Structure 1
Amino acid sequence: MQTAHVRDVFEAIADPTRRELIHLLAGAEERPLHELTPQFQMGRTAVSKHLTILKEAGLVRDRKVGRETRFRLNPAPLREVQDWVAHYSKFWNANLMRLGQLLEEEEE
């Protein structure tokens, strides 16, 4: 069963710390908070707040293992970002092609 996202994915990835958390979680199956916190110049509570925002956007899932919470990436919501960027990459590709043609015409 899929739950509705509380936060917008674009809002969640707008922050560089959250993008770095996504990067760190993409390289591992699961990581506990105590492994993630030393990667940042902020305390455990601040990192936890960033993880909560990612979780609210559906980008991170967590599970309790004893007293520890482990986090893992759920990349599915990033598809929305990929689709949005793909739409604009077509725009840029077309414009760059036209620019290349103009430059070739000027050289002739």
Structure 2
Amino acid sequence: MDRDIEADARVEDVFTGLADPTRRRILELLAQKGMGTATSLAAELPVTRQAVVKHLAVLNRAGLVRGEAVGREVRFRVESEPLAAAARWMNLRAAEWDRRLAVIKEIAEAPEDESDVR
């Protein structure tokens, strides 16, 4: 797979992970607490433990969380690199648009050449 396509796919996974407000809240809780289980997260959310497990699976596929088995529990923590990669992707897109808009502004503000006006 081409590196750009692979990077775009990873960014798309991050955006998919972040698209749901419950998943964003799960990330916030994990960031605050450092680690959490599906049970501990469900205790703080208006959804069932099973729903939290499904949300954690989406976040895990996106690389936004990593689970670690500790006895019978799986403890999850936030993985920041995918968020950083998505931020870099957005910054590149923003820089491209800034360059395009600067060119448009330059063209719009350029004085008209009187020889062009008839």
Counterpart Cα distance in 1 of 2:78 and 2:36: 10
User: 1:8 aligns to what SS in structure 2?
Assistant: helix
User: Does structure 1 residue 72 correspond to structure 2 residue 77?
Assistant: yes
Structure 2: how far apart are the matches of 1:31 and 1:40? Answer: 13
Normalising by structure 2, report the TM-score.
0.65
> In 1, distance between residues paired with 2:28 and 2:74?
18
Amino acid of the structure 1 residue aligned with 2:87: Q
Tell me the distance in 2 between the aligned counterparts of 1:20 and 1:26.
Answer: 10
Q: Summarize the alignment of residues 1-108 of structure 1 with structure 2, pairs less than 5 Å apart.
A: 8-87=13-92
Larger Rg belongs to: 2
Q: TM-score, normalised by structure 1?
A: 0.70
Name the amino acid aligned to 2:17: A
Q: Deviations over 1:30-66 (max 9, x none)?
A: 1122210022111100011000000011111011111
The answer to which structure has the higher helix fraction is: 2
List structure 1 runs of 4+ shifted beyond 3 angstroms: 87-92
Number of residue equivalences: 91
Bigger shift: residues 26-35 or 43-52: 26-35
- Structure 2 letter corresponding to 1:30: M
In structure 1, stretches of 5+ residues that fail to align are: 99-108
Distance in 1, matches of 2:92 and 2:18, equals 18
Percent identical residues: 39
CA-atom RMSD in angstroms? 2.4
* 1:106 match: none
